[in-house]
Amino acid sequence: MTLKKDEKANETFNRELEINLEDLQKKVNNNKFLKVSEWGGADVIICNKPTPSQKSWLGDQPGVVISFQNTGPRRRLVITKHSEELSWLFDQLRDIFQGRIDSGSKYDFFDSLAQAATDCLEESKGEVECKILLTKVIDAAKKYGEND
């Protein structure tokens, strides 16, 4: 009985995540995203132009880190002209994944989002349309949610 109840709760939780991500994608498709202050957290910084202290922070990667992360601990600096929109998206995804990520898994989560953004920017040589960049990051969040 309890197992069925847990399965039902998990199914509802997963469906809610799916709906929230679909709604977020609709906002992006309809240009309903905002520009907010540049984002930083969980060893990720999003900016338009890095400051000397951000460059120093990135270059000062720790040598050995004992961590429960699934990915290798690494600081990430995502540099894009769409930094304010991407920051908005990171805020939205943080809220959507609340309850699914914790103080340890947030590093894997935001790392995967930052990597998706970086890959997209590298593929386009930095000249990517904002909607495409945001969609690639939402796709990475969906993948994270499926594997969670």
Domain boundaries, the chain: 2-147
pLDDT in tens, 30-55: 999 999 999 999 999 999 999 999 98
Six-digit token pair at 46?
């999003």
**Closest among 103, 102, 44 to 74, alpha carbons compared:** 44
Residue 63 has pLDDT above 90, yes or no: no
